[in-house]
Amino acid sequence: MTAEPLAPHTLYPTAGGIAAATSDLSKAYGSGDTRVVALDGVGITFREGEFTAIMGPSGSGKSTLMHCAAGLDSFDSGSVRIGTTELSTLNDRQLTQLRRDRIGFVFQAFNLLPTLSALENITLPMTLAGRRPDQQWLDRVVAMVGLGDRLGHRPAQLSGGQQQRVAVARALASRPAIVFADEPTGNLDSRAGAEVLGFLRDSARELGQSVVMVTHDPVAAGYADRAVFLADGRLVDEMARPTPERVLDLMKGFDARPRTS
Ligand SMILES: Nc1ncnc2c1ncn2[C@@H]1O[C@H](COP(=O)(O)OP(=O)(O)OP(=O)(O)O)[C@@H](O)[C@H]1O
Ligand SMILES: [Mg+2]
């Protein structure tokens, strides 16, 4: 092994099994009276093959953290790396390429293209990258999201839950190094949600897929290998092998804490 840094985009090696990491990450929106600190020095490591749930009250910075860690949004200070690649060393073109090759993202709003069918939406990132999908994997992803005969339908012809499943399948289809999912089950009924969560968990356990998921739901967090908790833009707690009961207890504790401001 050599410490020589490898050029980004030729190889994306991981160091010590780290899929992605942030260090002292801070970001504020607005200025003066309207300034909001969304992230306040967040340092977190996402290991390869680990399924992490990010929890915290509305406005605590969960989506901002995901967007910054996925290279979708800028930040004020600190650093983000995907594998061994520091995002700050990349120009716009390189960043776009890294996002396309290495990152899957499931948005809180589905962001599907209305003119494409479900299947075309799922394979779009690979179509854009000029890559052929791994057919066996794609079949598995498609089977898991359970779209069946609706694969040829456009998003407007699908229910909210079905659209969200297409969005999850799209993020997984290219087998990215890390999948970020912002409340992927927020629009699903409990059965459909359980299927998506089960697939995310299995993809981490059986295939080494790294997954980071935002959720408000203690049951969803129970599928993850660990849960981390944000409040006011800071990491305030972490739990290994979360269960819905323990997550709920911890959240009750947060609610019971006296407010300092
Ligand atoms: N584009 C923006 N302009 C100004 N403020 C923003 C913007 N995006 C987010 N914020 C603020 O930053 C803080 C963190 O927002 P963020 O969306 O990361 O929260 P969240 O934890 O994902 O919340 P939710 O659970 O409601 O999705 C909030 O106070 C929010 O109002
Ligand atoms: Mg959010």
Ligand 1 touching residue 58 (CB < 6 A) = yes
pLDDT score for 5? 40
7 forms beta bridges with none
Do the beta carbons of residue 198 and residue 168 sit within 8 Å?
A: no
Do the beta carbons of residue 54 and residue 212 sit within 8 Å?
A: yes
Query: pTM of the predicted model, to two decimals?
Result: 0.86
Q: Which ligand lies nearest the alpha carbon of 68? A: 1
Residue 29: CA count within 13 A, CB half-sphere: 8
Rounded alpha-carbon distances, angstroms, from residue 249 to 4, 54, 205, 252: 47, 16, 26, 5
Q: Which residues are CB-contacts of 93 (< 8 A; sequence separation ≥ 6)?
A: none
Ligand 1 touching residue 27 (CB < 6 A) = no
pLDDT score for 257? 60
Ion ligand 2 neighbours (CB, 5 A) are 63
pLDDT score for 110? 76
Distance 72 CA to ligand 1 centre (A): 14
pLDDT score for 11? 37
Distance 241 CA to ligand 2 centre (A): 23
Q: How many residues does the chain have?
A: 261
Q: Which residues are CB-contacts of 232 (< 8 A; sequence separation ≥ 6)?
A: 37, 40, 60, 61
Test site for ligand 1: of 22, 29, 213, 228, most ligand atoms within 8 A of the Cβ: 29
Mean pLDDT in order along the chain per 10 residues (261 residues): 37 67 97 95 95 96 96 96 94 93 84 93 87 84 80 91 85 88 86 83 83 96 97 96 96 69 48
Ligand 1 touching residue 64 (CB < 6 A) = yes
Ligand 1 touching residue 109 (CB < 6 A) = no
